[in-house]
Every structure is written in structure tokens, then in C-alpha cells.
Structure 1
Amino acid sequence: MADDISRIAELDFAGVTPEEFARIVKGLSGKQFTEIAEDGTLRGRILQEVFGRMERQFKPEAAASVTALIRWKITGSGGNEDVVYETDIADGTCVVREGQSESKPRVTLILADAEFLKLVSGNVGPVALFMMRKVRVVGDVALAAGLTRYFDIPKA
């Protein structure tokens, strides 16, 4: 198991396609998700890469009329703190930033590392996460349910 995590830790995430990333996430066990979440350095690298790709995977034509600040709160485990990113969609553009601004989000999604990675890799949908009570949604539930329309989500 540790060997699998070592291989993941050695990956150059910038060189991994979204589809390859989706397959990697699909193949992870619950224990491996826990190990990744508890390794602060690896967790940080993965989250930075995922959020770094959001702007490139944004579909402006699908979100042309959308104006929304989306706050993502990824809950920490193993002594790691919660991580917050914001996705600001307006005028057919998407800007992602780390940290919490003073602006009021239209929706906040609160979820653990494993659920977040499954969501952004296309291995689970937002409605399924909500129904399983694996994501807490504060604000515009309809926007949260349709978020995957605005991004090119890979399929594993």
C-alpha cells in the first residue's frame, strides 16, 4: 500500500492528463485516500494541481450567463488543516484562487479529500455526493448540482 502512495507521490502531476488522473483516482482504495489526505505535502501538491487545471478545463460557452463565487472547503484530516479555494465565474471566465476572500460566495461546498478528488475526476457526481451526505452545500444548491456542466470533467 505504501508503495502505491510512493508511486503517486513521485508523479509529475503536470504531465498527467485529466483522463489518467481520473483512472488513478478511480483505482484508489479508502486506505490510500486516507494516506494521501494525511500526507500534507502530497495532499497540497494534488490540490494545487487540480485547482490549477480548473481554469483550463472551464467551458465558457456553458457558463456564459453565470456569475458565481464558488467556495470549496476541503476538510483536513490527520492533523492537516482545512484548505479553501475559490472559483470565480463571471462573463464567461473562470478565476481560481487559494484562500478565502471577504466576498460572499453564491455556494460553498464542504467535503473531504476523497470525495473532492472523486468529484473532480468524474468518478462521482455532485448530486450523488449530496444524496450520500458526503458534501455539505451552503447556498445555491441548484448551482452546486450543475457545476459539472461548466467544466470539462474527465471520465475514468
Structure 2
Amino acid sequence: MTQLDLMSATPETLAATEPAEFLAALKALSDKDITALMASGAREAVVSAIFTRMPELFRPERAGSTTATTHWDITGRPDGGSDQWTVRIADGACTVHRGHDGDSTLTLTMGPVDFAKVITKTGNPVMMFLTGKIKAQGDLGLAANVGSFFDVAKA
């Protein structure tokens, strides 16, 4: 099987790609390659593919009775803005929305390389927070645990 080329991927290609293959392709990129990817026309498709897959990777048994609304800001868009998403966990389900929706329990802000490391679980989010690579406002206990609510296939 050939490795997924994220630079030329379309939203349709990404939607048809298994999460493990997608994460393997993302994990295989160097920081320089991630920076180039997130500065390219493929950025929106890649970021959207990550967030829209979260409900299928969500494990309600790990979240327990957690109810939370997290706002995500992925900085460094070519236009100077950020990609904003809302991830809501409630009643044993995970839903995602483009943009910030409702009041947040936790707001996470990070650059594209750090976002890729968080999503692929190749970076240590606590250390990234302590060194200022991730900014978190709100429930820091949730920030430390929210990643464990999702299965990230070993790529």
C-alpha cells in the first residue's frame, strides 16, 4: 500500500481514508513538512478530517460522566487567522462543530505542528503546556485528560 500524500489529498480522499492510515501519514511528516502542509491549500481538508473523525474515535467509557465543551484554536493559517472548532462531550457522546459554539469549559490554542503532535500522541501535551507551546484556559484537569477519551490507532 502506498502512503497517503497529505499535500495532495482532497476532502473526499481523506474521508475515504482509514483513521490509522491518516494518522500514520501525519505522524510520518517532519515538523518542516507539517509546517508546509498547514501553509498549503490542503490545510482546511486536513484539519477538518481530524476534527470530523473525533466522534468515531471517542470512547465514552473513558470519559465517564464528563460533560465539557472545548474550543480549539489552531493558529498559523496562511491568512494570519486560526482554525476554530468546538468539541462537545456530553451524555456519552462527542460532537464537533466548525467555529466556537457555546461557552467553553476549556479553550486550547496551539500552532499546527503542536496540534499534529497532540493528535498523533507523539508529543507530551503537559510539557507543551508548561513550555508555552499550548495555551489552555479553563479546566486544566480536563486539559490533562481529554486526550485519553479518544482512541488513536497505533500507526
| TM tier relative to shorter chain | 0.7 to 0.9
Q: Is residue 2:99 matched to residue 1:99?
A: yes
SS at match of 1:133: coil
C-alpha distance in structure 2 between counterparts of 1:148 and 1:81, whole Å: 25
Measure how far apart 1:15 and its partner are.
3.1
Output the amino acid matched with 2:150. F
RMSD (Å) for aligned C-alpha atoms: 1.8
Find the counterpart in structure 1 of residue 50 from structure 2: 50
Find the counterpart in structure 2 of residue 3 from structure 1: none
Where do 5+ consecutive residues of structure 2 fail to align? Answer: none
* Structure 1 residues 101-151: Cα deviation after superposition (integer angstroms, max 9, x where no partner): 2x2201000001111112112222321321332100011111001011111
Aligned pairs for 1:21-100 (under 5 A) are: 21-39=22-40, 41-100=41-100
- 10-19 or 88-97: which moved more? 10-19
Find the counterpart in structure 2 of residue 138 from structure 1: 137
C-alpha distance in structure 2 between counterparts of 1:96 and 1:77, whole Å: 20
1:9 pairs with one of 7, 12, 33: 7
C-alpha distance in structure 1 between counterparts of 2:77 and 2:138, whole Å: 25
C-alpha distance in structure 1 between counterparts of 2:124 and 2:23, whole Å: 13
Where do 5+ consecutive residues of structure 1 fail to align? Answer: 1-5
SS at match of 1:69: strand
C-alpha distance in structure 2 between counterparts of 1:154 and 1:104, whole Å: 30
C-alpha distance in structure 2 between counterparts of 1:65 and 1:7, whole Å: 38
Q: Which runs of 4+ in 1 moved over 4 A?
A: none
Across the two proteins, how many residue pairs are aligned to each other? 149
* Structure 1 residues 51-91: Cα deviation after superposition (integer angstroms, max 9, x where no partner): 11000001111113101001101112432421110011111
